[in-house]
Amino acid sequence: MNRFDLHGRVAMVTGCNKGLGQGLALALAEAGADIVGVNRSNSDETREKVEALGRRYVAVEAALGRDTPEAIVARALESTGRLDMLINNAGTIRRAPALTFTEEDWDAVVDVNLKAAFFLAQAVARHLVERGAPGRIVNVASVLSFQGGIRVPAYTASKSGLLGLTRLLANEWAAHGITVNAIAPGYMATDNTQALREDATRSAEILGRIPAGRWGTPEDLAGAVIFLCSDAAAYVNGHALAVDGGWLAR
């Protein structure tokens, strides 16, 4: 018996056209899952990589925070007939001091990172409850779910809120056989951290605190997402698994 086998299951992954989301989608495909990718833009590169692994890829082009979660799930179900997993990965970040941070930037970040994540989880959970089927929801939080950070007030607030939401949903939906957990990536080499990595001083400060001595990669999240979506994690609920090279332990 392979407790990590995901064959026959369908995972919806948001923001998977590149970066961490693409890495998460490929990890689940490697474990046997078919993938529904929800992206604002073209995700043909992810499609090619998923199909090269012998799995099916269904693209749903949608803007979280604009298109309704019900419509996104309905479009997915038209092609797949079922959803078993949701990976709330899509997110955005705006950097500015708290003294000058604008309401426009606040809303742009919180609407995608927190509000859209909740209502998409709600739509997928309703589908699972109607089917009478167990399911897995994994929210991509952050080490800033545990720390304050600097110059990212809306991002910190949204990721802290997402961790609290993960725990609440775990409490409410466990009775339906739905587990809700979070992955908390550390400092990863993605578009969101490009400005930090290009700032020699800040990059050196960050790397100096990471015990692993390097920025994380999308591949570093593979084991965590496969585990949390698998039968091996059937009794893991409301947990945040940090994948940070030891950042929080320092």
pLDDT tens column, 155-198: 999 999 999 999 999 999 999 999 999 999 999 998 878 888 99
For residue 155, indicate whether it is catalytic. Answer: yes
- Using one digit for the tens of pLDDT, what is the confidence trace for 9-43? 999 999 999 999 999 999 999 999 999 999 999 99
The whole-chain average pLDDT of the chain stands at: 97
Q: Sheet harboring 240-243: ordered strands across?
A: 57-61, 34-39, 10-14, 85-88, 135-140, 178-185, 240-243
How much of the chain, in percent, has pLDDT values that exceed 70? 100
What pLDDT does 82 receive? 98
**CATH number of the domain to which 122 belongs:** 3.40.50.720
- Tell me: pLDDT of 65 over 90: no
| 249 lies in some domain | no
| 16 lies in some domain | yes
| 25 lies in some domain | yes
What pLDDT does 233 receive? 98
Q: How many CA atoms lie within 13 A of 193 on its CB side?
A: 19
| 217 lies in some domain | yes
- Using one digit for the tens of pLDDT, what is the confidence trace for 215-242? 999 999 999 999 999 999 999 999 999 9
* Helix, strand, coil percent values for the chain (each to nearest 5): 50, 15, 35
Rg value, the chain, Cα: 17
Which one-letter DSSP state was computed for residue 152?
Answer: -
Least confident of 45-59, 82-96, 193-207: 193-207
Nearest Cα neighbor of 218 from 22, 7, 16 is 22
- Tell me: pLDDT of 100 over 90: yes
Helix (H, G, I), strand (E, B) or coil at 134: coil
| 248 lies in some domain | no
- Tell me: pLDDT of 91 over 90: yes
Measured CA to CA, the distance from residue 239 to residue 186 in angstroms comes to: 16
Q: What range defines the domain where residue 100 resides?
A: 10-240
Measured CA to CA, the distance from residue 161 to residue 182 in angstroms comes to: 12
Query: One of 57, 155, 187, 235 is an active-site residue; which one?
Result: 155
Least confident of 129-133, 134-138, 145-149, 196-200: 196-200
What pLDDT does 1 receive? 82
Asked whether the beta carbons of 186 and 244 are under 8 A apart, the reply is yes
What pLDDT does 171 receive? 98
| 212 lies in some domain | yes
What pLDDT does 195 receive? 86
Residue 187: burial class (beta carbons within 10 Å; 0-12, 13-18, 19+): buried
Helix (H, G, I), strand (E, B) or coil at 92: coil
- The residue behind tokens 């979070």 is 182
- The residue behind tokens 């298109």 is 67
Structure tokens at 23: 């890495």
105 Cβ neighbours under 8 A, 6+ residues apart: 94, 96, 154
Structural domain tally of the chain?
1
| 99 lies in some domain | yes
| 120 lies in some domain | yes
- Tell me: pLDDT of 146 over 90: yes
- Long-range CB contacts for residues 6-10, cutoff 8 Å, separation at least 24: 6/31, 6/32, 6/33, 6/85, 6/226, 6/229, 6/230, 7/31, 7/32, 7/33, 8/32, 9/33, 9/34, 9/84, 9/85, 9/229, 10/34, 10/35, 10/36, 10/80, 10/82, 10/83, 10/84, 10/85
